Amino acid sequence: MADPAQLASAIKALPITVSATRPIDEAISTAGGVLFEVLNQGLMLEQLPGVFCAGEMLDWEAPTGGYLLQACFASGRRAGQGVLGFLQGK
């Protein structure tokens, strides 16, 4: 598919069947991820311009719950601002 919008629509409509789940102690990550040292202020990978990281992709230690959700929302906002800046050539 050469059309990015058509590709995005196809990916979003892809059915996924869950055949089994893992125990909660195996299903939750609480540490690890992309190091902040390889990101710019907009959370873009320095070595891969146009690739942004947010939420649980980042290297931090955070238990599941409200604080993790807030950190994911905040880093998502920061990455979104980084995307806008990147697209505007800033």
Buried/exposed 53-78: b ≥16 CB within 10 Å, e otherwise: bbbbebeeebeeeeebeebbeebeeb
**Residue 66 confidence (pLDDT):** 76
Q: Where are the domains of the chain?
A: 23-87
Beta bridge partners of 34: 58
pLDDT for residue 43: 98
**What does each of the 90 residues of the chain score in pLDDT, given as a tens digit?**
678 899 889 889 998 898 988 887 777 766 789 999 999 999 999 999 999 999 989 998 877 777 888 989 999 999 999 999 999 998
pLDDT score, position 30:
66
Q: pTM higher than 0.75, yes or no?
A: no
